Amino acid sequence: MKRVSRRTFLAASAAVTAAPALAQTDSRQPRPEGNPDAIIVGAGAAGIAAARRLVAAGRRITIVEAAAEVGGRCITDTKTFGVPYDRGAHWIHMPDVNPIAKLVTQTGLDIYPAPPGQRVRIGRRFARESEMEDYLAMLVRANTSIFDAARKGDVACAQALPKDLGEWRSSIEFFLGPFGCGKDLTEVSAVDFARSAERDVDAFCRQGLGALLTKLATGLPVQLANPVAGIEWGGRLVEIVTAHGRIVAPTAIVTVSTNILAARKIRFNPELPRRHLDAAAKLKLGSYDHVALELPGNPLGLRTDELVFEKASGPRTASIFANASGSSLCMVDVGGSFGRDLSAKGDKEMIAFALDWLTNLFGADIKSIVQRRHATRWNDEPYVLGAFSVASPGGQPSRKVLMEPLNNRIFLAGEAAHETLWGTVGGAWESGERAADAVIRLLGGPSTRR
């Protein structure tokens, strides 16, 4: 069976201390300079990409990161389960062209292709071949309808869906919406959905995607646990007000999430232009969380890195990603409005839902087999406030607005500032590199300092 992609079905349709810490592992590597050429706010994928580009151009930089570790929404936890556990992003889309995948050889880590064969569970059995054919045919029709609607104008994806999806409607709505976008299809722009680049081939980093980003940040002058309170940008210089003091530079690259911008968690002086605030509001992050469960002995009988959905009867549904990289770690993923409401109830309720959901699909014995467990709650992470950016109906042009520089001194970057790779680590990386290139041009090209 042709595998179901993570985000779309395009292929099928064609058929902390008093002083800020430094992310340093080698004293010979560059450290922050007293008079940087650029300040980078945020050490996630976009910030790391921008920093690497600027350092390669000989430019002096300082990176300030609010959290106690680099990675942003890409964090690999090895303590909770004793194996790599990506609390945030895990998928490397289109590895043949993904800029991060191309850098793996520099890190000593390895990536491997995602396996084929994702399946759908119907009650306590897997869908038969004829049932999968029906489901995939409906999924093709749903995608085609959204793409057709996007060519005529922008509406909510839910409005563009065919009316006769029948008993597969809830499953399709979950796959395309909460699972694929972190939002219900009523909240997703058809144009934004249609313009997203193909994501039909995937890979994983065996040591964790967060571990890969951490490796790529090695040697960069990152001030950890140093949240930014304000940014003053009205004059010839940019002044960043942090928990540990002020930093001044000619330019800055700001990579915080759209939810942080929209909630005005950072004070801008002068205020952010209304068009940028409106853009951030139209590109708010969706909700997407993992309930990670340790299931020794593979009691579900699933393959390594297998992705399973259910034939759902409503919005209270999820997916399971089993046996991550050959371990006993399985992740039940929830998203959209149901996932957001569930997350707001806390870890206990999230884990209880995941166990009940698995019990309905695989039997009551599952609850007694589960050992360690953990639930992410990205909506409550104070320096993120959500999962990834998705444009609301009519909001797709806001991505270009977000890319407009402020006073030709401040450049916004991140996955939200990418028109086709929004919601991906690769998109964040490309956005960071693009912002760095703009800074290099502004400063007159690569530095000739030695």
pLDDT digits (tens, 9 = 90+) for 337-362: 999 999 999 999 999 999 999 999 99
Domain interval for residue 193:
115-200+286-380
Position 200 scores a pLDDT of 84
Question: What pLDDT, in 10s, does the model give residues 245-279?
Answer: 999 999 999 999 999 999 999 999 999 999 999 99
> Taking phi first (over 0 means left), then psi (-120 to 50 degrees means alpha), and beta for anything else, what does residue 51 get?
alpha
Position 260 scores a pLDDT of 98
- Whole-prediction pTM: 0.92
Which residues touch 386 (CB under 8 Å, ≥6 apart)?
182, 257, 259, 284, 285, 286, 287, 378, 379
Q: Is the residue at 447 inside a domain?
A: no
Neighbours of 56 (CB within 10 A): 11
Q: Is the residue at 412 inside a domain?
A: yes
Q: Is the residue at 7 inside a domain?
A: no
CATH number for the domain spanning 24: value is 3.50.50.60
CA 419 to chain CA centroid, nearest Å? 15
CATH number for the domain spanning 305: value is 3.90.660.10
Position 449 scores a pLDDT of 58
For the chain, first and last CA: distance in Å? 57
Position 448 scores a pLDDT of 61
Examine the domain organization and report whether 120 and 179 are in the same domain.
yes
Distance, in Å, from the CA atom of 440 to the CA atom of 224, rounded to the nearest integer, reads 25
Residue 208: DSSP 8-state: -
Closest CA to 447 of 60, 32, 34: 60
Examine the domain organization and report whether 103 and 225 are in the same domain.
yes
Position 445 scores a pLDDT of 87
Among the candidates 380, 411, 430, a domain finishes at 380
Examine the domain organization and report whether 280 and 293 are in the same domain.
no
Please say whether the beta carbons of 388 and 286 come within 8 A. Answer: yes
Number of domains in the chain: 2
Examine the domain organization and report whether 270 and 413 are in the same domain.
yes
Position 32 scores a pLDDT of 44
Q: Is the residue at 4 inside a domain?
A: no
Percent of the chain with pLDDT over 70: 92
Examine the domain organization and report whether 361 and 214 are in the same domain.
no
> Taking phi first (over 0 means left), then psi (-120 to 50 degrees means alpha), and beta for anything else, what does residue 423 get?
left
Q: Cα-flanking dihedrals φ and ψ of residue 351, to 5°?
A: -65, -40
Q: 271-299 burial string, b = 16+ CB within 10 Å, else e? A: ebeeebbebbbbbbbbbbbbbbbbbeeeb
Distance, in Å, from the CA atom of 238 to the CA atom of 235, rounded to the nearest integer, reads 7
Examine the domain organization and report whether 140 and 52 are in the same domain.
no
CA 207 to chain CA centroid, nearest Å? 18
- The ranges of the chain with pLDDT < 50 are 1-33, 450
Examine the domain organization and report whether 181 and 214 are in the same domain.
no
Closest CA to 282 of 184, 183, 392: 392
